[in-house]
Structure 1
Amino acid sequence: MSRIVNNLVLAALVAAATPSIAQARDKAAVAPSPKLSSACAGMDGPEGWSHPAPPAHIYGNTWYVGTCGIASVLVTSDEGHVLIDSGPADAAPLVLANIRKLGFDPADVRWILTSHEHHDHVGSIAELQKATGAQVAALASARQVLESGKPSADDPQSGQIEGFAPAPVARSLVDGDSVTLGRLALTVHATPAHSPGSASWTWQACDEAFTCKMIAYADSATTISADGYRFSDHPDRIARIQTGLSRIAQLPCDILVTPHPSASNLFDRLSGKAPLVNAQACAAYSQAAGAYFAKRLAGETGEAGK
């Protein structure tokens, strides 16, 4: 089953910090969230990965600056900003333009963080790093791929995913580490369900009334692979996937955001067509992915018995 179908399946199942001075000053510059939904209608697949999308306010100090098909999230503070994910190789100008449309200066981005080490999510990190001067922080398990630009042979999708421009990693992280700027702290969670280096991120965001929510940028949880790969032949990989799904389910998660926005129905939620806040969203997201993985394993077992 393709990545697109998997994300649609997950989306259907899941659907059941103090603001910075610049944020408060420039909030009026944000395109209305319904524009995001309408501008990206029908752009769920690869055709949307490099399709320009208007920026949108998620909550508090957190903003959507990605494309129609791939998320890039800006988390702001008075001490500088953090960018999570870059999109594919041709998305850098779109991400930079969206940051500027919000009234922020790309040169104030201090850190670039990653979800998983695939070209559609980190393909333009090298270019964004040059444009902003930011440093990259990533799980140690993703570092070699990020710095080489070559997919890992340990990745079930190896042979199917493309390479990308390498980007130096300034800080290697382990599960539970935090990247901080002043009072802003983003915590990494190793969630190796989708790829060996998969990372999810959580942080607190507060609105103008100081009502605070935990935002979870939960990494992709789909267990897809290159043709011919059998998860049932790799018990160690199965164990890592189960660990990753369990950790996603336990994330502090008032507001769920995912690297493929369609997987968490993000645009409809930002436009008011579905609830934005749901403390059970990460658990439901994990459960849906686990159900798909169990079905896949059962199918592999059935094939072996033929």
Structure 2
Amino acid sequence: MSVKPYALATAIWTALVATPAAAQTSDASPAALVASCAGKDGWSDPAPPARIFGNVYQVGTCGIVALLITSDEGHVLIDAATDKAAPGIARNIEALGFRLRDVKVMLNGHEHLDHAGGFAAMQRLTGARLLARAPAKAALESGKASADDPQIGLNDPFPGARVDGIVADRQVVRVGPIVLTAHATPGHTPGSTSWSWRSCDRSRCRNMVYADSISALSHDNYRFSDHPAYVAAYRAGLDRIAGLNCDILITPHPGASNLYDRLIGKAPLVDRRACAAYAKGGRERLSARLAREGAK
């Protein structure tokens, strides 16, 4: 039986995306992760790795997601928790049977200690290139919040990491068959960025979204209502998250998307309304914050 060229190409593409990039030495059990993190959600609390779907793994801590997306042509790491957590992230990657040097690109959700503190250490361990949107660059490299970050002064500094490239809104980042799209979602920080891509588990494919934090937190002296352009960009980012093609939602703090319950079947892992609901909650909290400021 002959195989048409386009059919063969489709089959090869599906195999590249769906096939694990290495034999695992860990069972990557979500149940083990949830059991290990019972009663713990600290930024640096160590946790075992867990497979979320297809080639996507949580390799972070009990309280912070560090997301590993794998392929035979290299891997992507989104966020790296704290500097203290970096050795555990490295161990988790190796426990899954992957090599640290095969992590080719690191991407950022937002430029705070709890998500970016481990980048410098992971950069040394992997040699990976760190990519980020322009508003996050100075903070990632200095380890200090930028002057226009609503939370400036609230978070401790962290080891700065070299930013090797700037990505624009809706820019595509490729590592072999992994294709991610950046989405500017400022608000929580000026450089907040969400990411979307497609992952497959054999014949099942899902639209994945790593939606960045959207809470309207700030230093006591900061008023969002004094920064209308920032608020407008904040709302535009929430609209962008709501409009994404979203089967599986993942957030930097697992509790923000009920990730651990979803991984063990206490709630649906796949929910096409999850991104819209997540954005709706962000809009409501931002509106409540603005209303409180108006009352004052």
User: TM tier, shorter chain?
Assistant: over 0.9
> Does the CA-based 8 Å contact 1:114-1:137 persist in structure 2?
yes
Aligned counterparts of 2:102 and 2:37: Cα–Cα separation in 1: 28
Alignment match, 2:72: 78
Alignment match, 2:259: 266
Alignment match, 1:233: 226
Dislocated runs of 4+, deviation >4 Å: none
Aligned counterparts of 1:19 and 1:30: Cα–Cα separation in 2: 17
Alignment match, 1:19: 18
1:142-167 superposed Cα distances (whole Å, 9 cap, x missing partner): 11111122210100001111211111
Alignment match, 1:278: 271
Q: Secondary structure at the match of 1:18?
A: helix
Alignment match, 1:29: 26
Alignment match, 1:7: none
> Does the CA-based 8 Å contact 1:30-1:101 persist in structure 2?
no
Deviation at 1:274, TM superposition (A): 0.7
> Does the CA-based 8 Å contact 1:20-1:76 persist in structure 2?
no
Residues 1:180 and 2:174 aligned together: yes
Residues 1:159 and 2:158 aligned together: no
> Does the CA-based 8 Å contact 2:19-2:201 persist in structure 1?
no
Residues 1:211 and 2:204 aligned together: yes
Alignment match, 2:39: 42
Structure 1, unmatched stretches of 5+, are: 1-16
Alignment match, 1:113: 107
Aligned counterparts of 1:278 and 1:32: Cα–Cα separation in 2: 21
Deviation at 1:43, TM superposition (A): 2.1
Aligned counterparts of 1:247 and 1:42: Cα–Cα separation in 2: 34
Aligned counterparts of 2:39 and 2:211: Cα–Cα separation in 1: 23
Letter in 2 for 1:96: A
> Does the CA-based 8 Å contact 2:105-2:175 persist in structure 1?
no
Q: Secondary structure at the match of 1:22?
A: coil
1:201-248 superposed Cα distances (whole Å, 9 cap, x missing partner): 01100002x211011000001011011211111111211111111111
Q: Percent identity?
A: 51
Deviation at 1:30, TM superposition (A): 2.3
> Does the CA-based 8 Å contact 1:151-1:162 persist in structure 2?
no
Letter in 2 for 1:140: A
Alignment of 1:88-107 (within 5 A): 88-107=82-101
Aligned counterparts of 1:227 and 1:199: Cα–Cα separation in 2: 24
Alignment of 1:58-77 (within 5 A): 58-77=52-71
Deviation at 1:21, TM superposition (A): 4.3
Q: Secondary structure at the match of 2:83?
A: coil
> Does the CA-based 8 Å contact 2:49-2:58 persist in structure 1?
yes
Aligned counterparts of 2:80 and 2:97: Cα–Cα separation in 1: 19
Aligned counterparts of 2:217 and 2:110: Cα–Cα separation in 1: 14
Structure 2, unmatched stretches of 5+, are: 1-15
1:158-204 superposed Cα distances (whole Å, 9 cap, x missing partner): 11112111111111010011110122111110000211000000110
> How big is the alpha-carbon RMSD for the aligned residues of Structure 1 and Structure 2?
1.2
Aligned counterparts of 1:152 and 1:160: Cα–Cα separation in 2: 12
Alignment match, 2:249: 256
Q: Secondary structure at the match of 1:58?
A: strand
> Does the CA-based 8 Å contact 1:193-1:243 persist in structure 2?
no
Aligned counterparts of 2:69 and 2:39: Cα–Cα separation in 1: 27
> Does the CA-based 8 Å contact 2:182-2:193 persist in structure 1?
yes
Alignment of 1:138-153 (within 5 A): 138-153=132-147
